[in-house]
Structure 1
């Protein structure tokens, strides 16, 4: 369905996306054992805070990538690879969704719902395959990126809905950054700068 050249462009877009996802991965790795070791109330109180922080930071990173992405591709790969920019833009909302997917998945595991996570993963795969079949012939590599973003967003939304149902938190408390969060982030940032001096 896609030629070798198109696959090369798409590979560049995916590579950049994977680099961006290393940021939430750095949070997910230590969060998993910590979260699983907490009692139910502490776990339910901690998860929304971590999700809000990660989501806020990833929104900034994705916006920055959208602005400088074309120039980054030019510098790293040359102007001949400019076609990788548009699928990268389409992947950014999916990256944003994936950035909190693993955090939500950890909470599903903690609530003894691994089967539910597996079901969502299968649904995501089926959705991705169907959308690829429909969109790639029409939109090419951008269609593949749109397919991925829709599939990732669907899986994250399903886990998020289940998380709010179990923890009884409003969506706002999970997704919208608070002033207290910004104060904490700023204090951590300043502490990090002072520590490096």
Structure 2
């Protein structure tokens, strides 16, 4: 039995899937504890802060981490060189954030987002280095972070009564611990990391288009909650966030495969590898969709309570669009590895613009349901555009991209056995 498990986990894709399953399960437990502890209103407030951080960290990160695959062959000690430059960026942003917090009269949510953003930027840079250099370490990192989140929220539940202060304290403590875990998994002595500035202008120059691209991607994912803020109650945003999170469980396997795919493409894998990963991702995603549709209401009731039961309606709507985004996830990794940055930029610009316009029209009329419908339309437009593009670029038939074969299933079951 142990030998079979070891054989399965020795394959990068299978290990990544196993790790993602663990991460998702721990994430569901964490989300349940967090949501029950803080309730719909504070859950909504935290969602707004997290989405502000998500967008700000993408804009201010300037896509520098995405230049890593381009320059990694130039220096033997490039991981140290790159990380040292990113530490300089972190120090600069932290100083600016503190200045803003002290000197500007802005909402507390924005102040907390400003404080967390530099940490998030550095974590993204480090995790990307780990992903490229040691994909399995990245998955171990995700497992540790998932366990840490559960431990922290239990600590807060036991010691403190929930309120806004402890909610923002929790978010800050969690991000600091994530940074520590990421630094440990980087496997570089902290004594070798010294703030450097030399590489930053170059990383910025090559990262600006990826930054715009990822910003558009993040807008496509996160703009709904930000546009809901101030239009609907915070409790409704909390309900919406849980519904979206549950729907995103469909991405469990695709996200796992995407991480390994990027590493392999960076090291020279062919277009057929992308088609292979897409059709497997679709297969597992459809299985997940059926499972979540059948049991999602009971999952929400058990994990989150009756306060969040309306989240199930959001989940059902969002699932339709989340399937479409699988094409985007895989083909975007293909574009990064092959330097097709402008192509991704054009397609994402169209999707993000559509998302903003649809949300602007739909949210005032239909509230959280309008946001869900807008996301579904935008996600599918984006996914279909990337699918057509990849078919044209690779000349691989649609059926080879979309439909899993008997041979695929046989190989898959052989690996499991």
Q: TM-score, normalised by structure 2?
A: 0.43
How far 1:111 sits from its partner (Å)?
Answer: 3.6
Report what 1:46 is aligned to.
Answer: 273
Deviates more, 1:111-120 or 1:159-168: 111-120
Report what 2:233 is aligned to.
Answer: 3
Deviates more, 1:107-116 or 1:165-174: 107-116
Question: Over residues 119-172 of structure 1, what are the superposed CA-to-partner deviations in whole Å (9 max), with x where a residue is unaligned?
Answer: 222222111111112222333212211111211111111111110001112211
> Which of 35, 38, 59 matches 2:286?
59
User: 1:24, 1:100 within 8 Å by CA — same for their partners in 2?
Assistant: no
Asked if 1:34 is matched to 2:264, the reply is yes
Larger-Rg structure: 2
Asked if 1:156 is matched to 2:383, the reply is yes
Question: Over residues 84-140 of structure 1, what are the superposed CA-to-partner deviations in whole Å (9 max), with x where a residue is unaligned?
Answer: 111111111222122332211122234421011122222221111111122223332
- Report the Cα distance in structure 1 between the residues aligned to 2:366 and 2:292, rounded to whole angstroms: 22
User: 2:250, 2:323 within 8 Å by CA — same for their partners in 1?
Assistant: no
- Report the Cα distance in structure 1 between the residues aligned to 2:349 and 2:334, rounded to whole angstroms: 19
Q: TM-score, normalised by structure 1?
A: 0.87
Report what 2:242 is aligned to.
Answer: 12
User: What is the aligned residue count?
Assistant: 187
Question: Over residues 153-192 of structure 1, what are the superposed CA-to-partner deviations in whole Å (9 max), with x where a residue is unaligned?
Answer: 1111111111000111221110112111222222223x2x
Asked if 1:125 is matched to 2:352, the reply is yes
User: 1:52, 1:174 within 8 Å by CA — same for their partners in 2?
Assistant: yes
Report what 2:306 is aligned to.
Answer: 79
User: 2:282, 2:323 within 8 Å by CA — same for their partners in 1?
Assistant: yes
- Report the Cα distance in structure 2 between the residues aligned to 1:165 and 1:130, rounded to whole angstroms: 29
- Report the Cα distance in structure 2 between the residues aligned to 1:143 and 1:186, rounded to whole angstroms: 41
Unaligned runs of 5+ in 2: 1-230
Question: Over residues 28-85 of structure 1, what are the superposed CA-to-partner deviations in whole Å (9 max), with x where a residue is unaligned?
Answer: 11210202322xxx51222111110011001101111111111111001112321111
In angstroms, what is the RMSD of aligned CA positions?
A: 1.7
User: 2:232, 2:367 within 8 Å by CA — same for their partners in 1?
Assistant: yes
- Report the Cα distance in structure 2 between the residues aligned to 1:123 and 1:166, rounded to whole angstroms: 19
User: 1:101, 1:156 within 8 Å by CA — same for their partners in 2?
Assistant: yes
Q: Using CA pairs below 8 Å that are at least 6 residues apart, which structure has the higher relative contact order?
A: 1
Unaligned runs of 5+ in 1: 192-197
Note the 1:95-174 alignment, pairs <5 A.
95-174=322-401
**The residue matched to 1:2 in structure 2 has which SS?**
coil
User: 2:285, 2:323 within 8 Å by CA — same for their partners in 1?
Assistant: yes
How far 1:19 sits from its partner (Å)?
Answer: 4.0
> Which of 170, 175, 178 matches 2:402?
175
- Report the Cα distance in structure 1 between the residues aligned to 2:407 and 2:366, rounded to whole angstroms: 43
How far 1:23 sits from its partner (Å)?
Answer: 2.8
Asked if 1:23 is matched to 2:253, the reply is yes
